[in-house]
Amino acid sequence: MLRLTRQLQRNIKLSQLQRVRFYSDSKDKKKGIKSEDKEDELDSSEQNLENKEDEKIVPKDNSAVESESPEESSSNDKPERKDNEKEDEIAVKKKPSERKRNNPKILAKLNLKNPKDNVPEKVSKLLAIPLTRRPLFPGFYKSLYIKDPKVILAIQELVNNGQPYIGIFLAKDENSEKDVADSLNDVEKIGVFCQITNTYQTGPDNSSLTVVVYPHRRIRITDISVGKEADNTEESSPVKIDPSNSILDRLNKLSLPVATVENLINQPYNSENRLIKATTSEIINVMKEISQSNPLLRDQIITVSVQTGNLLLDPSKLADFAAAISSGEPSELQAVLESLVVEERLHKALVILKKELANAHLQQEISKEVDRKINRKNQEYFLMEQLKGIKKELGLESDGKEKMIQIFKEKAAKLKMPEQEMYKLQGLEPQASEFNVTRNYLDWLTQIPWGQHSNENFDVKTAEVVLDEDHYGLKDVKDRILEFIAVGNLRGSVEGKIITLVGPPGVGKQLIKALGREFYRFSVGGLTDVAEIKGHRRTYVGAMPGKVIQALKKVKTENPLIMIDEIDKLGRGHQGDPASALLELLDPEQNNSFLDHYMDVPIDLSHVLFVCTANSLETIPGPLLDRMEVISLSGYVAEEKVAIASKYLSPQSVEASGLKDYKVTLQEDTIMALIRNYCRENGVRNLKKHIDKIYRKAAFKIVNEKLSKDDVLNITPENLKDYVGSPIYTSDRMYATTPPGVIMGLAWTQMGGSSLFIESVLESTLKDDGKPSFHRTGQMGDVMKESSTIAYTYAKAFMAKKFPENRFFDHANIHMHVPEGATPKDGPSAGSTMTTSLLSLALDTPAIPDVAMTGEITLTGKILKIGGVKEKSIAAKRSGVKTIIFPAQNKSDWDELPEYLKENLTPHFVEWYDEIFAIVFPNK
């Protein structure tokens, strides 16, 4: 009677728990949570429920409980409610549309009051259900979630026909989603024989089934077959089953695999064995220790291992329980399940528990360390807040925000600047993300020199002396600077200007900084981002103002001299066009209210003197060039270079090389040899490099040979190669005397002026029946190719008119070439030179010695104006030319050249080609 009462109470409690389980599963399904994710947790809850019910009625005589399994013993001091009250509570939680409960039918059909009652001792044919993650151990309830319609139907058939038995085996593939094993390779060989205690229809439209099973014993699977193949084995059961509804018949109709299994029993053992007792005691001690550090397992371990004694009397069940509550690897847990020798099973379970204990200790240490860090941070924060409060009460420290605002106000009081952002900062908390943005913005806003001007020097004489001391030549630039200063002298102030200095590298474009203004330089060569000019928006991380605002912050005045270097090399990228951004910056009519994206307030740049430098005007956009006042700087002739080297470059190199106290002499004739043989470029930058190299070599020689300060070291043209190597240029020009068909022209490049030879040759011997041809080489551009065609046409017309008996062009195959083929060449100014080259070839007559010419020619022989007169004159003088021919329209440009440049040059200014022919071929 006692046992019956206990069984009934347990069934009621278990039924309630399983209904709650189903209700929770239904909600989890709607949320997309798999039922299997909660199975382990629910299993332990079900086990505790049975243990608590059994504990209420455990008799004092231990013999009464020796035959019970672990799930039947526990303690529960709470009073029970009536059955109808429990049913009412469940009815509230239950949603009939979502599930159907079959448990009463199961118990009614089987007439079972306990899962252990009337269980057949041998069932050889079963459904093999694979279980993922961990194996199932005898004596511990488990809920399964079935989705396969055939398997659901088979389970319902088994339950309805009084055969609620299945086999559960650990799946070898942990990602398997099968609901039934159809091959021996799908599952482990050893599993458990389970009885179905409850089933619930769940999921959308009751399409899935939740099955609660109770494992009874270990079994081994020997075969899996489908359909009729399973009929050839012996029948099983001591339970009476209707033959028409047998397991095989039902499963065969559904074409489901049927597993052939056999029971496994533990090998005999002596519970009094010292090894078994010691291992059992160690397992109990480890479980107690785990319960102190792992609250998730504490209730189960304490309930079973401390308050009950049946596990201590059954070591095999103790090993199963230890493995069931641990979180070991599936392979380790399966090894415990497969162990039929109790000593081995206990040992394997103990190993798993030891690992569990080590993990628990590690988790505990990590938790303690985290708690210590959190407590330390909290304590530091608390103490810092206390310290701030104490200092504030004592007046030792003011609020950081207020102090910052006070500093900004003091700066703003001295400047003419807007104050809107100041009020914005006052309304922000220091912790706000916008606080730092506003603070940085105010830093920039208060460091711009609002209304601050530097004193300017309007003394023309003083400025002239300074310019002459620092720079040689460059009269045009010096005159423009002096004009600028003179206007300021008369007006008392000057407006900003945009001056552009154009010339080859190394010709002194930066001399304008001698004005005495605060100076700032930045280069825009290769610049592709508009934000470098106009600034970034403040919303971007790391935003900064543009280069001009940075310049104002640096110089601390509103009227500095800002040099924008390499303006002809502006780039263009996906961030915008910087050349367009410079339009507003360099427009005197607009830059009095320049708007930087970062500052977002108008800034007056009308007092800034902008000086731009470029090597060529061709790459500067037209709208930008229109805003500039262009001053062209030409290269230097050899005499100017000698003067610059003697007066400026040589003393600087002596100082830089540490030779100030030594007697190292570099005479003018040596510098001239250096210029002619090594440094023929228009500027002096390369000349400075060679002079520096000479003095470094001299310093090395003094140290190496241990020369005294009284020893004199002369650097002469003869020993110059010992310091700078072999000469780069061995002659002044390509041809000392030009043969027929070769004429020297003059060209302008970004590096300055240069000589340009035109060569024309006859490809083959003239034949009376030969057809004429003309082709050219030497990397000519389209314009230059057109000039050569015009020259060829005019030369034929000129010969037909001047020398009608000469039929050279009627049969000649002519090849024209411009040397230095690796250098691209273009422009119309070589037209007259090409014509002269063709006529020289046709007449087989060389031009007069030392002559050079330049000028565009038309089909009628008109000579048109060209550019770069000064540069071309410098190139002619450097090449040793004595006679130079220019278009008549360039006479005014020649007249502006300094006398030292025109010295030893005989100019001729022509309007028609006939005049050139008379000069070059005087005997024709």
DSSP class per residue in 491-512: HSS----EEEEE--TTS-GGGG
409 domain residue, yes or no: yes
pLDDT at 124 over 90: no
Range of the domain at 706: 638-724
What is the pLDDT at residue 57? Answer: 34
The predicted pLDDT at position 321 comes to 85
Please say if the pLDDT value at position 380 is more than 60. yes
Do residues 734 and 757 lie in contact, with contact meaning Cβ atoms separated by under 8 Å?
yes
pLDDT at 86: 36
Contacts of 700 (CB under 8 A, 6+ apart): none
Q: Which pLDDT score is estimated for 159?
A: 85
* Per-residue model confidence (pLDDT) at position 421: 58
Q: Does 842 have pLDDT greater than 90?
A: yes
pLDDT tens-place string over residues 774-822: 999 998 999 999 999 999 999 999 999 999 998 899 889 999 999 887 7
Most confident of 27-41, 205-219, 442-456, 877-891: 877-891
| Together in a domain, 297 and 442 | no
Helix/strand/coil (H, E, C) string of 429-482?
Answer: CCCCHHHHHHHHHHHHHHHCCCCCCCCCCCCHHHHHHHHHHHCCCCHHHHHHHH
Q: Which of 22-36, 265-279, 641-655 has the lowest mean pLDDT?
A: 22-36
On whether residue 65 sits in a domain, the answer given is yes
Higher pLDDT, 454 or 237: 454
d(C-alpha 6, C-alpha 12), whole Å: 10
Packed helices 315-325 and 274-293: angle between N→C axes, nearest 10 degrees = 30
Average pLDDT of the residues of the chain: 77
For residue 272, what are the contacts with CB-CB under 8 A and spacing of at least 6?
A: none
Give 762: exposed, middle or buried? Use CB within 10 Å, 0-12, 13-18, 19+. middle
Q: Of 263, 288, 303, which residue sits at a domain end?
A: 263
Which of helix, strand or coil describes residue 48? Answer: helix
* Domain shared by 484 and 424, yes or no: no
Is position 391 within any domain?
no
Q: Is 574 contained in some domain?
A: yes
Inside any domain, residue 386:
no
What pTM was estimated for this model as a whole? 0.50
Between CA 59 and CA 69, with CA 65 as vertex, the angle to 5 degrees is: 140
Report residue 865: phi and psi, to 5°: -65, 145
One-letter identity of residue 608: V
Q: Alpha-carbon distance 17 to 558, whole Å? A: 84
At 799 the pLDDT is: 93
How much is the pLDDT for 868? 86
Whether the predicted pLDDT of 910 surpasses 90: yes
Bridge-based pairing state of the strands 519-523 and 561-565 = parallel
Mean pLDDT in residue range 470-477: 72
How high is the pLDDT of residue 464? Answer: 78
For 818-835, how does the pLDDT look when each residue is reduced to its tens digit (9 = 90+)?
A: 988 777 888 899 999 999
- Tell me what percent of the residues of the chain surpass a pLDDT of 90: 16
Domain containing residue 170: CATH number? 2.30.130.40
Q: Note whether 127 and 189 are same-domain residues.
A: yes
pLDDT given at position 459:
74
Burial class (CB in 10 A: 0-12, 13-18, 19+), 616: middle
- In this structure, the answer to whether residues 32 and 178 fall within a common structural domain is yes
pLDDT confidence tier of residue 689, bands split at 50, 70 and 90: very high
Tell me which H or E stretch contains 777. Answer: strand 773-777
Write out pLDDT tens, residues 499-525.
Answer: 888 876 655 555 555 566 788 888 888
Count of the separate structural domains present in the chain: 6
Q: Which residues contact 702 (CB under 8 A, 6 or more apart)?
A: 659, 662, 711, 713
Residues 90 and 216 in one domain: yes
Confidence of residue 486 (pLDDT cuts 50, 70, 90): confident
* Catalytic residue list: 829, 872
- Which is nearest to 733 in space by CA: 721, 747, 744? 744
Whole-angstrom Cα distance, residue 547 to residue 810? 65
- Domain ends where: 697, 724, 751? 724
Q: Assess whether 886 and 911 both reside in one domain.
A: yes
Count the residues in the chain.
924
Do 357 and 235 have their domain in common?
Answer: no
Position 775 in a domain: yes
Residue 204 and residue 100 in one domain: yes
Q: Which residue would you say has higher pLDDT here, 789 or 326?
A: 789
Residues 6+ apart with CB under 8 A from 397: 388, 391
Q: Cα–Cα distances in Å, from 45 out to 39, 49, 201, 680? A: 10, 6, 21, 98
Position 171 in a domain: yes
**Alpha carbons 549 and 558: distance in angstroms, whole number:** 10
Q: Give per-residue burial for 813-850: e unless 16+ CB within 10 Å, then b.
A: bbebbbeeeeeebebbbbbbbbbbbbbbbbbeebbeeb
Instruction: Quote the pLDDT of residue 419.
Output: 61
In three-state secondary structure terms, 581 is helix
Instruction: State the pLDDT at residue 25.
Output: 46
Q: β-strands 813-817, 851-853: how paired?
A: unpaired
Identify whether residues 111 and 256 lie together within a single domain: yes
* Averaged pLDDT, 746-765: 85
pLDDT at 85 over 50: no
Q: How confident is the model at residue 403 (pLDDT cuts 50, 70, 90)?
A: low
Residue 56 has a pLDDT of 38
- Contact 568/523 with Cβ under 8 angstroms? no
* CATH number for position 676: 1.10.8.60
Q: Is the pLDDT of residue 872 over 60?
A: yes
pLDDT of res. 122: 82
- Same domain (yes/no): 336, 416: no
Query: Is the pLDDT confidence value at 265 over 90?
Result: no
Read off the pLDDT band of 417 (50, 70, 90): low
In a domain, 308, yes or no: yes
Q: What is the pLDDT of residues 758-772, one digit of tens each?
A: 999 998 877 777 788
Predicted local confidence at residue 306, as pLDDT: 53
According to the model, what pLDDT value does residue 777 have?
Answer: 92
The last residue of a domain, from among 559, 594, 623: 623
**Poorest-confidence range of 60-74, 158-172, 198-212, 543-557?**
60-74
Same domain, 841 and 912: yes
Spatial distance between the Cα atoms of 298 and 509, rounded to a whole number of angstroms: 87
**Highest-confidence segment of 359-368, 564-573, 795-804, 822-831:** 795-804
Answer whether residue 156 shows pLDDT above 50. yes
Do 122 and 96 belong together in one domain? Answer: yes
**CB of 643 closer than 8 Å to CB of 472:** yes
> Could you give the count of Cα atoms lying within 13 Å of 658 in the half-sphere of its Cβ?
7
Q: Span 128-132, mean pLDDT?
A: 87
DSSP state of 614: E
